[in-house]
A and B are shown apart, each in its own frame.
Chain A
Amino acid sequence: MAVPDEDDTSKRIPSPVSMKSLAAPVKSAVDKYQLLPEFLKVRGLVKQHLDSFNYFINCEIKKIIHAKDNERIVSDINPKIYLKFLDIYVESPSVEEDHIREPLIPQRCRLSDTTYAAPVKVDIEYTRGNPIQTEIKKGHVIANMPIMLRSRRCVLYGMDDDELARLGECPLDPGGYFIVKGTEKVLMIQEQLSKNRIIIDTDKKGRVSASVTSSTHERKSKTVIVMEKERIYLQLNQFTKLIPIMVIMKAMGMESDQEVVQMVGRDPRYSGLLLPSIQECASERIYTQYQALEFLEKKVVKSRFTNQKVHQGDFYPKCIYVGVMLRRMLEAILNADTIDDKDYVGNKRLELSGQLISLLFEDLFKTMSSAAKKSIDEALTKASRSSSMDISLHLKKDWITHGLERAISTGNWDVKRFKMNRKGMTQVVSRLSFIAALGHMTRIQPQFEKSRKVSGPRALQPSQWGMLCPCDTPEGEACGLVKNLALMTHVTTDEEESPLITLCYSLGVEDMSLLSAEELHSVNSYLVMFNGLILGKHRLPQRFANGMRKLRRAGKIGEFVSVFVNEKQRCVYLASDGGRVCRPLVIADKGVSRIKEHHMKELRDGARVFDDFLREGLIEYLDVNEENNALIALYEGEADSKTTHIEIEPFTILGVCAGLIPYPHHNQSPRNTYQLCRMDTLLYLLVYPQRPLLTTKSIELVGYDKLGAGQNATVAVMSYSGYDIEDAIVMNKSSLDRGFGRCIVMKKVSAVKQAYDRIIMPKMSSGKGGLDSHMQILDTDGIASPGEIVRPLDILINKQSATVSRDQLISHKVLPDSAYKFTPVKHKGTEGETTVVDRVALFTDKDQNMVIKFMIRHTRRPEVGDKFSSRHGQKGVCGTIVQQEDFPFSERGICPDLIMNPHGFPSRMTIGKMIELLGGKAGVSCGRFHYGSAFGEPSGHADRVEVIRYHRVSSPSVYIHGTYLLPKAKTYGLRLGEMERDCLIAYGASMLIFERLMISSDPFKAQVCRKCGLLGYYHHSLKTGFCSMCKSGENVSTMKLPYACKLLFQELQAMNIVPRLQLTEH
């Protein structure tokens, strides 16, 4: 008896504990959450944009003008006449009016449809006069550049909330966008394949190829080495044809075949693969460098490729580079696993606004310079030169100003030099809600065509973890291609290379140029690559990497430099280039976090900021590649001795928008995604916005709780009245009476008063003693006054236009009334809506015409048919509005605001919503806000990953029997789904359905027994259909039906359901 007793106690004791604590992730010893707000304080939510733009303004722009080709403008006619750019700087935004510059504030630009731009000034040294003398001119304006809001040059930079409010700016607005011609434009983050990196890939024909896209300030080129018919060729734009690789090697001075083989590696398998190429070269009778160059001469243009720098015609580094490329490629041929994954985030670079603007600026700068040169030359050729020439006057600022303005406002990036022609680079900042605007800034656009039906790039990449939000992607064609940054992601900017290279050499990297081909791939050493450049090799790669990392943690080199030891490729990759995504992680020594409680206490007390953590080597940034060298524990408790890093907070893998959803980890993942697209509801301005009762930590970080965009509703989950089918909701009329769901819709009406227009006072009509019924809202100045209720066709501006010609307008000072035609601006609205003039703004546009802008406001209460949504992608239209007395009430007398149908839950699997309902109620009951952050508490199942896959299911969804696929392409077919079927039926095109689902799908001849209604089979010896149930072939008919249908019947039969077909003659 003693035994069960013991058993009992052991069972009983842990039971109260186990429910929570055992299933819960062991709470980290140190609560690192506080780091997050600190991180965002220094970084902001759109820091990537600001950083990149600041970098451009401060460094990049100077590099551009100091570049060799750009620095001087020299006249072709008289080389002594020149102009040299000494310095360039961007000032803070200002506008020139009547030759007086005055500072510009963003709100004014928005209102007056102007561009928020700052003058770009240069210091120039130039020649003038006759005889020629050099002069230095400072502060010459060459352009007006649009300035990103909240960047270093923006007037809002560093302002506190009060100052911002005074300038008409929302303190919570993150900035990071431009104002061009009054519209707010955000430059989308562009996703690209890495530049200057070897990418091994298979092309369309299935050939393995190694490609490098080289990009410097001067040149962009793409070099591809490809294997075709067992021979290896090089493909370069400058060449008309594919060039045998051996010819290239020889042309670069590597005449000995042996050296080439050594360079690739001595493995006999490699040389085996190289042999056909060597033979081909020999058969062309090319043995020497001269012969090779002669051969190349015929194929046109010079042979410059790969980003390895050539010093004084020394092609050796290039040879090595080609060798390495070859080696990687051959390896990929032998072992398909080594092919690079193009979708791997480590192979991606994000182009930010700074880089994009710099690209454009450089191009425009060059255009401006050449235009200046042309006009100088023209001026010089003119024989009679009365005045001494001032070159600086030939620098026209319109080139850059207009070029930038046009590009940003249209979103078309055309850079002819690089054959770049991209569209849709900018978008208007969506101001539907605060979070929509924020989400817009973190959105990443792909370079691919959206319509491409590929599943690879759309799939969720494991390497996206922590860098890109796994949930936030649109539905439909751009699904999985358009991504969003996660909460803590940082995008790097370029960093100075030369000190790092020197450092590498002093840490023991053997210079490549001192190595023979044989030594290059020796067994006991690793190649060292820096930003895609081969520096040399190192015998102790791990030690080298650790040394670099130590320097980084000590702050001796930039915190974003990444060091990555690739053991497979036997390489150490160093990267300092811009556009890499990285994120901060806590460093752990043998699994012990470096951040201790006292650190956090100092942080809470304000004695420490985020940067201190970085400086003291407690936290470091890892990019995607370096993450491969790290073992990152999710929680401190899970760390073991091999752990090198610990996550700061797990929910930071989500983006800004996804962070708003409470309990997202309890939902089916597509639901979370749907929610993120759901920000499109009618609510433009909610009358009574509320803070969600159930907040998430992200909400607080983002400041969403200060700008509510929703209301907390009392919800009853029950089916009620039948007006709630298909996700419809039933609303309580009394709740609506009391202001639930009320919103204000603002509409803008603007009109321009041309020079020949006049606005007059409304005239009293002599008849009934009153005003014209449509003129009642007009003020004495002839413009509708704010606060007036406008009805459709009411006159907003009592405007008249002159009917006479321009000349008369000038000659006669005052025109008679008869010369004017009545051209009023009328309000177009729908009958029955009560609209009110909210605001009237007057200003002058760039042509000095008066512009009148009206904001027309319409307050609406929810009606039947309005769409509502929770935070879990559960939208529904209002099905009916019911009186309160008809509404159910609870034991405590609580009457819900709305009723939603419980049928919305099972198929959607939004458990998170149920928990939110509970959590919200708990919050109300105890009067506190509760947290519903992702991964905040234990969640049930581990099948989430699978579900995510399901969401981004590849579109070629082939069922067992391909029924519902359109026949065009089996692999890329689109489903003729239920909805499409409904449409076709409603349209009456039943024959089309018949065609789609049967004839062009999977027709099948079935034998059906007329007697028992079951399927039979064709009896070959009897040459007739045979029913195996009736054991006869008498009543069997042949009919056509889709194979899928027949399969369904048989599957039903297998489940003991008998489908019987009743046949009639037709």
Chain B
Amino acid sequence: MPRLSALDMPDVPKAQLPPHLEQQRTRVSCKSDAPLHTEGIQYSGAYASMGVDNSLRLDSFSKNFRVEVVRLTEDEIEFDMIGIDASLANAFRRILIAELPTMAIEKVLIANNTSVVQDEVLAQRLGLIPIEADPRLFEYVSENDTAHEKNTIVFKLDVRCKKDDGRIKAKSSELKWLPGGSELQMASTNSNPSTNPNAKPKTYTSFNCRQDSLPEFSHKPLRPKYGDITIAVLGAGQAIDLEVHAVKGVGRTHAKWSPVATAWYRMLPEVVLTQEVEDGKAEELVSKCPVNVFDIEDIGEGRKKAVVARPRACTLCRECIREKHWEECVDLRRVRDHFIFTIESTGALPPEVLFTEAVKILEQKCERIIAELS
């Protein structure tokens, strides 16, 4: 009898995992009680005994990695990211939410507020208004910095409800851009008024030039992204007169700087009928699904069977496998390296730009680490 190595099994195909292991490696399966195999296998030698290399290689990654844009509107993008690990997909999501800078109102100088909305509440509301300004054109304001045209946008809000107007709404469209900087004068200027009576009165900003004279803003005035956001409701005789200063910041400090309403991803659902589901059962299955994943197909002779028509719509509510024995027919899985990524922009930057910016930030971070390590 020839001596055979235990690893040398001719009936086991080389460099290929048996289907159940392959499924375990690439899919998360969702059972009616809980999902199974949620953790990916990172160890490169996990399948070495079977001659399968589990390591992640740059060349194979760049060969397999794909991005497919599914939907792109003015403020929303949905795209598929295929061939990437969850950790990286999540890194993008985190950067999008917390680390991508935007411009948001940080300072509110209230000259007059006789509305019922309290000053601090009004300020908080103003802060959340998204501003259509490319944050890449601005600098961060550091601690001892003065406000200048490169780091601050100034708006003015002056609404007044006349005595016989009934009630009016102060909308965000009434925020007027002041390209020349603040118009409010500092109170303590009278300390030495005699020195230079002709000098410009000191205001809360020190702009060197008007912002609209700069080429990047001249063609497009800065304004709130949406004009129909209610800031306050004014009753008869009430008025609001204030000035706001928007600066650059990131979502980690305050949610108002977050460029996205939200950014999230989900793994591609995969719905597999492991058995033929026919006739009455098929109709039952179709009616079970609240998002219409299944369709009915005629297979002749008046018989019908269920097919998976729209697996992408599946929300993994597991309604179809909740009842007994259904789990044997329907297998719900998610593809481990296929992410359906959605970004909802608040408007400062278009969503596709947001993602590329996020990639840049990740790149910078990586470079920083490499620099630190070397």
Give the B-binding residues of A (Cβ under 8 A).
Answer: 687, 733-735, 737-739, 742, 744, 769-770, 787, 834, 836, 838, 857, 859, 883-885, 889, 891-895
Contacts and interface: CB of A to CB of B under 8 A. Distances in A.
Contacts of B93: 885
Contacts of B125: 739
B252 A883 contact: yes
Given A738-B128, A742-B121, A859-B118, A885 B97 contact: yes
Given A737-B256, A883-B98, A884-B98, A893 B342 contact: yes
B120 A836 contact: yes
A448 to B, nearest CB: 46
Interface stretch (B3-11, B165-173, B225-233, B258-266): B258-266
B312 interface: no
A921 to B, nearest CB: 12
Nearest to A894: B262
Interface string B66-101: 000000000000000000000000000110011000
Contact of B124 (A734, A739, A787): A739
A770 B121 contact: no
Given A734-B255, A889-B264, A836 B98 contact: no
Tell me which of B118, B188, B263, B344 has the highest count of chain A C-beta atoms within 10 A of its own C-beta.
B118
Contacts of A744: 118, 121
B262 A859 contact: no
Contacts of A737: 254-256
A297 B81 CA distance: 108
Contacts of B124: 687, 739, 742
B246 interface: no
Contacts of A889: 262, 264
Contacts of B315: 891-892
A884 B97 contact: yes
Nearest to B123: A859
A891 B342 CA distance: 11
B292 interface: no
A885 B120 contact: no
B322 to A, nearest CB: 15
A891 B316 contact: yes
Interface residues of B, number: 30
B252 A859 contact: no
A738 B262 CA distance: 13
Interface in B110-149: 110, 113, 118-121, 124-125, 128
B191 interface: yes
Given A769-B191, A836-B120, A891-B315, A885 B98 contact: yes
Contacts of B251: 734, 884-885
B120 A834 contact: yes
A787 B114 CA distance: 9
Interface in B330-372: 342, 344
A892 B252 CA distance: 22
A884 B258 contact: yes
Contacts of A836: 118-120
Given A739-B125, A884-B97, A893-B344, 5 more contacts: A734-B258, A735-B255, A738-B255, A836-B118, A857-B118
A354 B83 CA distance: 80
A884 B315 CA distance: 22
Interface string B256-278: 10100011101000000000000
Contacts of B262: 889, 893-895
B121 A859 contact: yes
B113 to A, nearest CB: 7
Contacts of A687: 121, 124
Nearest to B267: A891
A836 B113 CA distance: 13
18 contacts: A687-B124, A737-B254, A739-B125, A742-B124, A744-B121, A770-B188, A836-B119, A859-B118, A859-B120, A883-B98, A884-B258, A885-B98, A885-B252, A889-B262, A891-B316, A892-B315, A893-B264, A895-B262
Tell me which of B98, B110, B255 has the highest count of chain A C-beta atoms within 10 A of its own C-beta.
B255
A169 B184 CA distance: 39
Q: Nearest 3 A-B pairs (CB), nearest first?
A: A737-B255, A734-B255, A893-B264
B119 A787 contact: yes
Nearest to B317: A891
A893 B93 CA distance: 11
A929 B344 CA distance: 27
Interface in B294-344: 315-316, 342, 344
Contacts of A734: 251, 255, 258
B249 to A, nearest CB: 12
Nearest to A859: B120
Contacts of B344: 893
Contacts of A893: 262-264, 342, 344
Contacts of A857: 118
Contacts of A884: 97-98, 251, 255, 258
Nearest to A887: B97
Contacts of A891: 266, 315-316
A75 B254 CA distance: 82
B338 to A, nearest CB: 14
Contacts of B188: 770
Nearest to A776: B187
Nearest to B128: A738
